[in-house]
């Protein structure tokens, strides 16, 4: 399998270069389990979901701790048929394909309940795309039902779902949406925006 994210960090401050570079150090504890490639538009982070999502959480939290308005944008994908399998992405985090939807929802809720707080607020919106054969709408609607019970659900919006809360449970919710819904050998993507310290909330 291939799993990863194209990530861009946008600090709304004159000192954006220093903030981006200092925030990238939050990835250091995860680097030995990820493949990271940066260019002038985004950073590709390749690795298993159980490493990928905590790494994104820590990158976001480091930038948000500055107190500046910061936005993290990411496109996440697993199982893309156009990408070769990568051994670094081997994972046991994906749901069993024969497990009923209700069991997967409960497993996701249990995982979030056990997630520690990070101490940094996160406001996020995302869309889940389940591609390939099978009833993709059943999987998406099952994910939405899970989100409404997750404790991080804020509201439904056009084309996406909004989450809010501590960054620990919010990114854990995103990980569960990515791993528990859609076939483990299928193509699943997430379009994600996470914002901190927005002046619009004042």
Number of domains in the chain: 1
DSSP lists the bridge partners of residue 124 as 163, 194
Tokens of 171: 């990114």
pLDDT in tens, 7-36: 999 999 999 999 999 999 999 999 999 999
Give rounded-to-5 percent helix, strand, coil for the chain. Answer: 40, 30, 30
The tens digit of pLDDT for each residue in 58-95 reads: 999 999 999 999 999 999 999 999 999 999 999 999 99
Q: Residue 149 sits in a domain of what CATH number?
A: 3.30.70.930
Strand order in the sheet with 153-157: 35-38, 43-46, 3-11, 70-78, 187-196, 121-131, 160-166, 153-157
Domain that holds residue 15: 3-90+98-201
Whole-number CA gyration radius for the chain: 16
**Considering the entire predicted model, what is its pTM?**
0.96
- Residue 98 in tokens: 């024969």
């Amino acid at each position: 399998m291939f799993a990863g994210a194209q990530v861009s960090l946008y600090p709304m401050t004159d000192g954006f270069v220093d903030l981006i570079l200092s925030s990238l150090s939050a990835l250091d504890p995860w680097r030995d389990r990820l493949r990271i490639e940066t260019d002038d538009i985004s950073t590709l982070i390749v690795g298993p979901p159980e490493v990928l999502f905590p790494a994104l959480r820590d990158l976001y939290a480091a930038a948000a701790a500055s107190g500046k308005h910061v936005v993290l944008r990411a496109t996440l994908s697993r199982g893309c048929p156009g990408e070769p399998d990568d051994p670094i992405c081997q994972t046991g985090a994906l749901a069993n394909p024969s497990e009923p939807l209700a069991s997967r929802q409960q497993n996701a809720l249990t995982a979030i309940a056990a997630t520690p707080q990070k101490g940094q607020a996160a406001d996020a919106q995302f869309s889940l795309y389940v591609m390939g054969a099978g009833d993709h709408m059943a999987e998406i609607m099952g994910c939405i039902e899970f989100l409404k019970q997750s404790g991080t659900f804020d509201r439904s919006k056009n084309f996406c779902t909004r989450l809010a809360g501590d960054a620990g449970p919010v990114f854990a919710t995103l990980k569960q949406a990515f791993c528990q819904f859609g076939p483990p050998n299928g193509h699943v993507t997430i379009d994600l925006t996470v914002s901190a310290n927005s002046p619009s909330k004042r």
